[in-house]
């Protein structure tokens, strides 16, 4: 699972996941749990400023984050750890070749779900899409531009969420785009016990023209590191005030915290 660092989620540098988290999805509803969740066949082409060879300007690609909150189940709220993941399926979309040989790899990450508690005790998470994060490599910088997150299925003990983002690799010397990939990640968390979740993820990668390249499916055990704790400020944002504004805008005044 590629995890994505976010204002909406605790930052994870090489990510994109995440995540993704919406069992009761108020006020935006989720579809009932489906037996099979499909990836898109194609993506639209990326905008001209993200095409290889273009001069990259981060200010042009950044947009103000939306004030979006979702109610999450109690078992999902808190801080979680992943140490390893196992790739269980690979497919090259261009040749059609597949492999189901399990491959264990190190994938250390720490992430948090749940930021605010309402008057009735419900726990809510701030999404705040779109957002951007970056990771430095010796010769290029990799930007992850997360454009959307949505709940695609839920049941009492399971939740599936979909994230869409661009991975833009920019030369440090020329500041020109080397490569842009589009990714769609579908991640499912299954409740095991109060301290453990089972994670399954499927990530499909597309090129800058929207043509599918490959699909990778991973599995992992997610362990609780800390219980839920309310977060009133993060990444320069007053989450407590944003939460109040969200509830007022949705006419959920009965849930306004003290």
Helix (H) or strand (E) holding 67: none
Residue 24 lies in a domain: no
Residue 34 lies in a domain: no
- pLDDT, one tens digit per residue, over 163-222 is 999 999 999 999 999 999 999 999 999 999 999 999 999 999 999 999 999 999 999 999
Looking at every residue in the chain, the average pLDDT score rounds to 85
Distance spanning both ends of the chain, measured CA to CA: 38
Residue 243 lies in a domain: yes
Expressed as residue numbers, the domain containing 170 is 48-255
Question: Is the whole-model pTM more than 0.85?
Answer: no
If you write DSSP's letter for every residue of 18-87 in order, what string do you get? -----SS-SSS--PBPPS--PPPS--PPPPGGGSTTSBP-HHHH--PPP--EEEE-GGG-EEEEEEEEEE
**pLDDT at residue 228 in the model:** 97
Q: How far, in Å, CA of 158 to CA of 2, rounded?
A: 20
**pLDDT at residue 37 in the model:** 67
Residue 229 lies in a domain: yes
Beta strand ranges found along 114-176 (DSSP E)? 116-117, 123-126, 131-136, 140-155, 158-171
Residue 15 lies in a domain: no
Asked if 102 and 87 count as a contact pair (C-beta separation under 8 A), the reply is yes
**pLDDT at residue 159 in the model:** 82
Q: How far, in Å, CA of 115 to CA of 22, rounded?
A: 13
Task: For strands 212-226 and 233-234, give the pairing.
Answer: unpaired
Cα angle: 145, vertex 143, 55; to 5 degrees: 100
Residue 214 lies in a domain: yes
Residue 103 β-bridge partners: 87
Residue 222 β-bridge partners: 197
Residue 5 lies in a domain: no
- pLDDT, one tens digit per residue, over 83-112 is 999 999 999 999 999 999 999 999 889 999
Q: Say how many domains are in the chain.
A: 1
139-155 average pLDDT score: 88
- pLDDT, one tens digit per residue, over 18-45 is 333 333 333 333 443 333 568 999 999 9
Residue 64 lies in a domain: yes
Q: How far, in Å, CA of 164 to CA of 203, rounded?
A: 10
Q: How far, in Å, CA of 189 to CA of 111, rounded?
A: 13
223-243 average pLDDT score: 96
**pLDDT at residue 131 in the model:** 87
Nearest CA to 116 out of 248, 7, 241, 249 is that of 241
Q: Is the pLDDT of residue 133 over 50?
A: yes
């Amino acid at each position: 699972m590629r995890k994505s660092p976010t204002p909406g989620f605790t930052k994870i540098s090489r990510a994109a996941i995440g995540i993704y988290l919406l069992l009761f999805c108020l006020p935006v509803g989720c579809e009932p749990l489906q037996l099979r969740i499909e990836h898109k066949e194609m993506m639209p082409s990326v905008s001209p400023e993200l095409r290889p060879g273009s001069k990259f300007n981060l200010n042009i690609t950044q947009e103000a984050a939306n004030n979006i909150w979702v109610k999450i189940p109690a078992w999902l709220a808190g801080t979680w750890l992943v140490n390893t993941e196992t790739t269980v399926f690979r497919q090259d979309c261009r040749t059609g070749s597949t492999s189901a040989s399990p491959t264990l790899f190190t994938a250390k990450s720490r992430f948090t779900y749940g930021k605010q508690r309402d008057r009735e005790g419900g726990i809510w998470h701030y999404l705040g899409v779109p957002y951007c994060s970056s990771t430095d490599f010796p010769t290029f910088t990799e930007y992850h531009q997360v454009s959307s997150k949505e709940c695609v299925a839920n049941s009492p003990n399971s939740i599936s969420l979909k994230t869409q983002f661009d991975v833009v690799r920019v030369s440090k010397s020329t500041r020109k785009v080397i490569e842009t990939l589009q990714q769609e990640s579908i991640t499912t968390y299954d409740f095991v016990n109060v301290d453990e979740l089972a994670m399954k993820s499927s990530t499909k990668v597309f090129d800058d023209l929207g043509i599918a390249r490959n699909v990778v499916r991973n599995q992992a055990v997610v362990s609780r590191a800390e219980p839920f704790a309310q977060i009133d400020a993060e990444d320069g944002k007053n989450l407590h005030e944003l939460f109040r504004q969200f509830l007022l805008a949705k006419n959920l005044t009965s849930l306004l915290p003290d």
